[in-house]
Amino acid sequence: MRQKTSLETAYSMFRSTFIATVVFSFFTNLLMFVGPLYMLQIYDRVLSSRNEMTLMMITAIAIAMLVSYGLLEFTRSRLLVRAGLQFDEVLANPVFHRVVKQQTALPGSNAQVALNDVDKVREFMTGQGILAFFDAPWVPLFLALCFAFHPWLGLVATIGAVIIFGLAIINEFATRNALQDASKASQGANHFVNTTMQNAEIIRALGMEKQLTKRWLSQHDDMLIHQARASDRAGSIMASSKFVRMSLQVAILGTGAYLAIQQLISPGIMIAASIVMGRALAPVEQAVGQWKQFVNARSAHKRLKQLFDNISEQ
């Protein structure tokens, strides 16, 4: 039976944290219904009855539930951060040894980039990027609630989710090659700097500083061009996503107002639907914003896996 690599061990240790985070995400997303339900009760029960006691009771319950939500969010985030530290503790030492081993076996390799790759994977696994993936399975439930309010409201919310998800896919294809090229150029420039520093005395003695500086600047400029290209494309898609998001807010409020005028829904449902749609779109919009970090973490994971596979073959 093949022995697990340190990379596989680090991921397997993260599994229990993954399960715990799923459980916490279940409760935090359930508590997301507090806002729309509160507005529903305010508009449909409190304002019509003008009962101050009802208002106080509903508000007290809502505040208690929101405090619980805040504590769960804090615990979820703290759990991921602690797991990230453990992930780094398990992986950093083996990666360092493999970098040294590969540099000894293949002096021209760029294995030292793996030390930064550990940070990239850890940052994604403990940041907002992975939380978007935990919250994403709840999107259909929030959309279903919009349909429960009224089919038209559900249709507006669903169209919005599809458009923003489509922008995320466009973002992937539009920035993938540019980000990969920027990463390769950055690695090449860093490797060139490290190699140059190791031979600094010889380079100065031979008077090669100007030539090597020009070569490094060329590689550095190449990296900047690819990064700027990827950032421009991602920025355009992010701006489009924000435009769609704000337009959808207007669309669902306008649709809700029309339905309320026709007495097909209450004003409370109009406000509640707006809040629910916002919650449904949040993970999708967050995924668009964190996509660059996800792509970097994915590339870092591939390089780490290749590093461990190469060493085990030798």
- 193/141 Cα distance (integer angstroms): 52
Q: What is the DSSP string of 16-52?
A: HHHHHHHHHHHHHHHGGGHHHHHHHHIIIIIHHHT-H
20, 102, 199, 298 from 89: Cα distances, Å: 20, 21, 33, 20
Residue 155 lies inside a defined structural domain of this protein: yes
Residue with tokens 């190449």: 222
The count of domains in the chain is: 1
Q: What is the CATH number of the domain that holds 147?
A: 1.20.1560.10
pLDDT tens over the chain, length 314 residues: 456 777 777 778 778 888 888 888 889 988 888 888 888 888 878 877 788 888 899 899 999 999 999 999 899 888 888 888 888 888 878 877 777 776 666 555 555 677 778 888 888 888 777 888 888 888 898 999 999 999 999 999 999 888 888 887 787 777 766 666 666 666 666 666 666 666 666 666 666 667 767 776 776 677 777 677 777 777 777 788 788 888 988 999 999 999 989 889 888 888 888 888 888 888 877 777 777 778 788 888 888 888 777 655 44
CA distances from 61 to 105, 202, 288 (A): 65, 74, 34
- Kindly state the tokens that stand for 113: 């980039």
Distance from C-alpha of 268 to C-alpha of 277, rounded to nearest angstrom = 14
CA dihedral 243, 246, 247, 252 (to 10 degrees): 160
Give the domain range for residue 87. 6-313
Type of residue numbered 196: T
* 217-247 burial: b if 16+ Cβ within 10 Å, else e: eebbebbeebbebbbebbeebbebbeebbee
Buried b (16+ CB within 10 A) or exposed e, 31-50: bbbbbbbbbbbbbbebeeee
Q: Report yes or no on 1 lying in a domain.
A: no
- Give the model confidence (pLDDT) of 207-217 as tens digits: 666 776 777 67
CA 100, 6, 75, 295 torsion-angle sign: positive
The model's pTM is: 0.70
Instruction: Provide the 3-class DSSP secondary structure of residue 207.
Output: coil
Q: How high is the pLDDT of residue 144? A: 92
Q: Which residue has the tokens 């829904």?
A: 265
CA dist list (Å): 272 to 126, 256, 275, 276, 283: 31, 10, 5, 6, 18
